[in-house]
Amino acid sequence: MENGAAQPVIVAIDGPAGTGKSSTSKAVATQLGLSYLDTGAQYRAITWWMVTNAIDVDDPSAIAAVAGKPEIVSGTDPANPTITVDGVDVSAPIRTQEVSSRVSAVSAVPEVRARITELQRAVAAGAEGGIVVEGRDIGTTVLPDADLKIFLTASAEARAARRNGELKGADVNATREALMKRDAADSSRKTSPLAKADDAVEVDTTELTLTQVIECVVTLVEEKRAGK
């Protein structure tokens, strides 16, 4: 590398919903000049496409049969991460409750995971300066050779409270139940479950502010870069 330019680094950030994963990943990528990929948005996008096209999301074979149809494109600018399906901007509709309640079922279908994993690997391979990839199975399945793997955790209560800050007017108990149900579904699925990689650094965000979590992760990435 010329003049001590930083080595490209691939950072995998995994963990359940409500740990501050997206906010942390975007901020870290921005601060360090890396690309950013929200893999959850890709699963939401394919779920949105299934719902929009009236595919029975309770029928894995119906999902599997059309998993290759939608064209999903992710923009990797952390300041403005975009996602389109067949050329349509879906960044807003993929965040609806209708999609949220079905994403675990769609994500559990092996053909869907194979398709989206392939997309994710292609995006990471194409990120010349390095990338922060956030999701649930990045360090274990998608990018097992990532330079740095981080697993964010937090108590169910803390996660529900944070998620409630995002979902205006939501009931904390209902949110907590929904999060725990989704975690259970994602942790127990046969294909690429939500799991911490053996070589991941665990960061418990329960007592930390978002700024502290970002600082912690930035430090870990900088140490990794320096040690290359």
Pairing verdict, β 88-89 and 201-204: unpaired
pLDDT of residue 161: 79
Token output for 14: 């995994």
Round to the nearest angstrom and report the end-to-end CA distance of the chain: 12
The pTM score is 0.85
Q: How far apart are CA 154 and CA 39, in angstroms?
A: 20
Q: Residue 88 belongs to what H/E stretch?
A: strand 88-89
pLDDT tens, position by position, 24-76 = 999 999 999 999 999 999 999 999 999 999 999 999 999 999 999 999 999 99
Per-residue pLDDT of the chain (228 residues; tens, 9 = 90+): 344 456 789 999 998 877 889 999 999 999 999 999 999 999 999 999 999 999 999 999 999 999 999 999 999 999 999 999 999 999 999 999 999 999 999 999 999 999 999 999 999 999 999 999 999 899 999 999 999 999 999 888 888 777 767 666 667 778 778 777 777 777 776 776 777 888 999 999 888 888 999 999 999 999 988 875
Q: How far apart are CA 75 and CA 205, in angstroms?
A: 27
Token output for 69: 């149809």
Q: List for the chain the helix, strand, coil content (%; round to 5).
A: 50, 15, 35
Query: Count of alpha carbons within 13 Å of 189, Cβ hemisphere only?
Result: 23
Q: How far apart are CA 104 and CA 57, in angstroms?
A: 10
Q: Please classify residue 33 by burial: count the beta carbons closer than 10 Å to its beta carbon, then call 0-12 exposed, 13-18 middle and 19+ buried.
A: exposed
